[in-house]
Amino acid sequence: MIKNIVYLFIFLIISSCSKPEPRKPIVRKTGSFLDESVKRNITINKLEEDMLERVMQKDSLHHFINSENGFWYYYQVKDTLDHKSPEKGDIALFAYEVKNLKGDIIFSKEEIGKIQYNIGKQELLSGLHDGVQLMKEGEVVTFLFPSYKAYGYSGNERVRPNEPLIFTVELIKINKN
């Protein structure tokens, strides 16, 4: 009996001394939702870019500038005195109106009123934030924003989801900080 226990003990010691096997990594596939979302957004962005391109082609009176932030613009009134553009912390006073690509007014200047915006310290539509920072006091600029720079995929009560828009902005005053 003792002999059997000793053999069992030796067997357990020998069998437990084997080298540990490394665990195989767990492979997790990313959900197809993310891949489909990327494809859908690429398609939407291309459609919007084509729509904005057609608007610019029809408008031969203005010279459109392509911003590095993903939108286009032209000056209706350009600063000739070389004023400074607003910087982070400055307070910009501006007014704007919003139109759809057909030219129908969605939000008028009178309806919106004048906006005081603390540059970089308050929430604002992405396109307006970027656009106001390009402007100088007294300028009037028309911006063509793809939807991701305006109201995005959710839209609002007057703007359809994924709707590119035209904003005309007047930068009235800059209070330097």
Number of domains in the chain: 1
Strands 91-99 and 115-118: antiparallel
Supply the range of the domain harboring residue 142: 39-175
Any domain includes 154? yes
Count the alpha carbons within 13 Å of 79 in the hemisphere toward its beta carbon: 15
**3-state secondary structure at position 105:** strand
Any domain includes 47? yes
- What element of type H or E holds 175? strand 165-175
Question: Who's near 38: CB < 8 A, 6+ residues apart?
Answer: none
Any domain includes 129? yes
Q: Which residue, 100, 114, 107, is CA-closest to 144?
A: 100
* Residues β-bridged to residue 140: 77, 170
Q: For the domain that residue 49 is a member of, what is the CATH number? A: 3.10.50.40
User: Which pLDDT tens digits describe the chain residue by residue (177 residues)?
Assistant: 777 776 666 766 666 655 666 666 666 666 677 888 889 899 999 999 999 999 999 999 999 999 999 999 999 999 888 888 999 999 999 999 999 999 999 999 999 999 999 998 889 999 999 999 999 999 999 999 999 999 998 889 999 999 999 999 999 999 987
The first and second tokens of residue 124, run together, are 């604002």
